């Protein structure tokens, strides 16, 4: 049985004439321990799928199951202990007036965890930041360090599923490599399940075993990493993306 | 090839509590009618270099240089009047995000017409025709609609094209593009680059393309300057990027994930304190 099962998901925003169908019937199944990628351009609805799983976007049709159980609305605290999200922009996702310590202790307090001291120390170690970062404010951290704090915040509740929304697009490529390696290592050590959204095919090819390509709120094509690496895409849109990722010249429209 | 632009020993300093901080430290290069890429990480000084060429170093920063010449005009001693005759007329700049560089309460058309008439004068009707023609030139399919649209009514790619149209309507000799495509989707990105490419080829314009995307720059530009901590650490032909000599350039190139798969874990950049000296 798949761990995450999304069936015919629909998400619409707005009312009357201003209705926007952001996701129009997307189905996907992610196995335990798998890393699953969602690729697409801006406005394709890829982030909305993640937000819908997390309860941040209204589900207007279809179902989402975790471990076979239908999700409730609002989500239960137990759900958030299992599923955590890392957002795209580490400059926007950390409260500017909370220290790293505050950021990390809040989820522990909400969920009533014991041994908060030890957990915070360990979480910082795990993401490669020492205890010296504990009482800093976000403005005293670089982009890569902030994203590490965001990952630590997600991991501190010891979830089994991480939803990653473009975790490295706001970072320089050298920092991106460090964060991707960190995510890779954490998944191996803890047997985490990832759903990773990105516009960068190379990042998804590196991180995920399977991926789905989205366009205009629809799933265009599902591929394995192997098929992607051998450029065995069937749909013209996927091929266009593949071509475009090679840079200027190769991807020029004829 | 005559040089359009000569920069020798450009330095930009900002005063801080701990004394002046030099963010660009002795950058020198020349530019002909070609596509020059400037690559580097955030904080390497690439954008400040681009801004200094237009005299747009934000106060209280100071830009100094041994030589800063654009077609024989000494930019160091340029008066406000000289700058007015250069900015937007002979040297234009395209910024990263169309959302922040277009005026949100003016239609696209009015902004383009304003840019044109401030520099060239002439009748409104003339300017309008030119603006529409320019919007067509940047591959906007429905130029009349875009002319009358406000920035928020356009997508990012459209907005960036409108921005490019506005910068190019005065037919500048030099275009400085600061991450012009970073906010755009990959497929749109290539279209915008195609437009810039054609303009360089057709009009003999010089282009400075500032970007953090090594792969994109290497596939688009003729020559690449790699910046690190305010200095140019390497200058090379774009096609030779894979054979880069400097460990920083090599490291930057090696840490990119590849679709074909590669090393796992990814190679990370081991910074050497000596690079910043």
Question: Does A247 reach chain B within 8 Å, measured CB to CB?
Answer: yes
Report the residue from A184, A240, A246 with minimal CB separation from B265: A184
Whole-prediction pTM:
0.84
Q: Give the minimum alpha-carbon distance from A108 to chain B in angstroms, rounded to a whole number.
A: 31
Taking only the tens place, the pLDDT of each residue in B57-78 is 888 889 999 999 998 899 988 8
Taking only the tens place, the pLDDT of each residue in B95-115 is 877 778 889 999 999 999 998
Q: What is the pLDDT of residue A48?
A: 92
For A247, nearest residue in chain B (alpha carbons): B216
What's the mean pLDDT in B39-63?
Answer: 89
Residues of A in Cβ contact (< 8 Å) with B193: 248
Residues B77, B67, single domain; the answer is: yes
Asked if the Cβ–Cβ distance from A199 to B185 is below 8 Å, we say yes
Residues B142, B179, single domain; the answer is: no
Asked if the Cβ–Cβ distance from A202 to B189 is below 8 Å, we say no
Taking only the tens place, the pLDDT of each residue in B140-152 is 888 898 999 998 8
Query: For residues A162 and B157, which has the higher predicted lDDT (pLDDT)?
Result: A162
Write down the ipTM of this complex.
0.77
The CA distance from B157 to B144, in Å, is: 17
**Count of the separate structural domains present in chain B:** 2
Residues B166, B181, single domain; the answer is: no
Query: Does residue B29 carry a pLDDT above 80?
Result: yes
* Residue A57 in domain: yes
Residues B59, B182, single domain; the answer is: yes
Provide the greatest CA pair distance for chain B. 62
Structure tokens at B74: 């000494």
Question: Does A188 reach chain B within 8 Å, measured CB to CB?
Answer: no
Q: What is the pLDDT of residue A253?
A: 44
Q: What is the pLDDT of residue A251?
A: 44
Any idea what the CATH number is for the domain that residue A51 is in?
Answer: 3.40.50.300
Q: What is the pLDDT of residue B1?
A: 53
Taking only the tens place, the pLDDT of each residue in B230-275 is 999 999 998 887 788 899 888 888 888 888 877 778 888 877 777 8
* Residue A134 in domain: yes
The CA distance from A121 to A133, in Å, is: 10
Q: Give the minimum alpha-carbon distance from B56 to chain A in angstroms, rounded to a whole number.
A: 25
Residues B28, B73, single domain; the answer is: yes
Q: What is the pLDDT of residue A254?
A: 38
Q: Give the minimum alpha-carbon distance from A249 to chain B in angstroms, rounded to a whole number.
A: 7
Tell me the mean pLDDT per 10 residues along chain A, length 254.
Answer: 93 85 93 94 88 92 92 90 91 91 94 92 89 90 90 93 90 87 92 93 92 93 92 89 78 43
For A229, nearest residue in chain B (alpha carbons): B260
**Count of the separate structural domains present in chain A:** 1
Query: In terms of residue numbers, what domain contains B186?
Result: 5-90+173-276
Distances (CA, A) of B66 to A194, A233, B7, B26: 54, 54, 8, 9
Residues of B in Cβ contact (< 8 Å) with A249: 219-220
Question: Does A249 reach chain B within 8 Å, measured CB to CB?
Answer: yes
The CA distance from B258 to B277, in Å, is: 32
Q: What is the pLDDT of residue A9?
A: 95
């Amino acid at each position: 049985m798949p761990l995450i099962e999304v069936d015919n998901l629909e998400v619409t925003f707005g009312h009357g004439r201003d209705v926007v169908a952001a996701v129009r019937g997307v189905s996907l199944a992610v196995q335990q321990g798998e890393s699953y990628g969602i690729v697409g351009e801006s406005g394709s609805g890829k982030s909305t799928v993640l937000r819908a799983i997390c309860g941040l976007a209204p589900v207007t049709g279809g179902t989402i199951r975790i471990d076979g159980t239908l999700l409730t609305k609002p989500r239960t605290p137990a759900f958030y202990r299992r599923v955590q999200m890392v957002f795209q922009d580490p400059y926007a996702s950390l409260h500017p007036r909370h220290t790293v310590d505050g950021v990390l202790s809040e989820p522990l307090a909400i969920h009533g965890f014991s041994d908060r001291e030890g957990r915070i120390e360990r979480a910082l170690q795990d993401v490669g930041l020492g205890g010296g970062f504990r009482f800093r404010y976000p403005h005293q951290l670089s982009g890569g360090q902030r994203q590490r704090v965001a990952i630590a915040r997600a991991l501190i509740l010891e979830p089994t599923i991480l939803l990653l929304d473009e975790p490295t697009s706001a970072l320089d490529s050298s920092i991106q490599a460090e964060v991707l390696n960190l995510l890779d290592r954490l998944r191996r050590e803890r047997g985490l399940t990832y759903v990773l959204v990105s516009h960068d095919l190379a990042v998804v090819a590196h991180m995920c075993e399977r991926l789905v390509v989205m366009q205009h709120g629809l799933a265009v094509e599902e591929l394995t990493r192997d098929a992607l690496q051998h450029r065995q895409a069937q749909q013209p849109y996927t091929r266009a993306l593949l071509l475009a990722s090679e840079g200027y010249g190769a991807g020029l429209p004829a | 090839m005559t040089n359009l632009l000569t920069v020798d020993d450009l330095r930009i300093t900002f005063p801080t509590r701990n004394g002046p901080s030099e963010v660009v430290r002795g950058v020198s290069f020349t530019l002909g009618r070609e596509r020059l890429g400037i690559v580097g990480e955030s904080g390497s000084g690439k954008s400040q270099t681009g801004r200094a060429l237009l005299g747009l170093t934000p106060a209280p920063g100071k830009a100094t240089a041994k030589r800063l010449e654009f077609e024989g005009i000494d930019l160091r001693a340029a008066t406000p009047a000289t700058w007015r005759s250069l900015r937007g007329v002979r040297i234009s700049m395209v910024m990263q995000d169309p959302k922040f560089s277009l005026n949100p309460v003016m239609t696209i058309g009015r902004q383009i017409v304003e840019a044109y008439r401030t520099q060239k004068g002439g009748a409104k009707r003339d300017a309008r025709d030119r603006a529409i023609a320019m919007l067509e030139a940047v591959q906007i399919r429905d130029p009349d609609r875009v002319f009358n649209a406000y920035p928020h009514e356009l997508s990012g790619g459209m907005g960036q094209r409108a921005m490019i149209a506005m910068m190019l309507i005065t037919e500048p000799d030099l275009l400085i593009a600061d991450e012009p495509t970073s906010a755009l989707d990959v497929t749109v990105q290539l279209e915008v680059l195609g437009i810039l490419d054609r303009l360089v080829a057709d009009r003999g314009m010089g282009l400075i393309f500032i970007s953090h995307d090594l792969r994109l720059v290497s596939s688009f530009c003729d020559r690449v300057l790699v910046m690190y901590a305010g200095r140019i650490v390497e200058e090379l032909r774009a096609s030779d990027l894979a054979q880069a000599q400097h460990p920083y350039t090599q490291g930057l190139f090696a840490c990119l994930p590849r679709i074909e798969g590669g090393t796992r874990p990814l190679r990370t950049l081991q910074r050497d304190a000596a690079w910043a000296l």
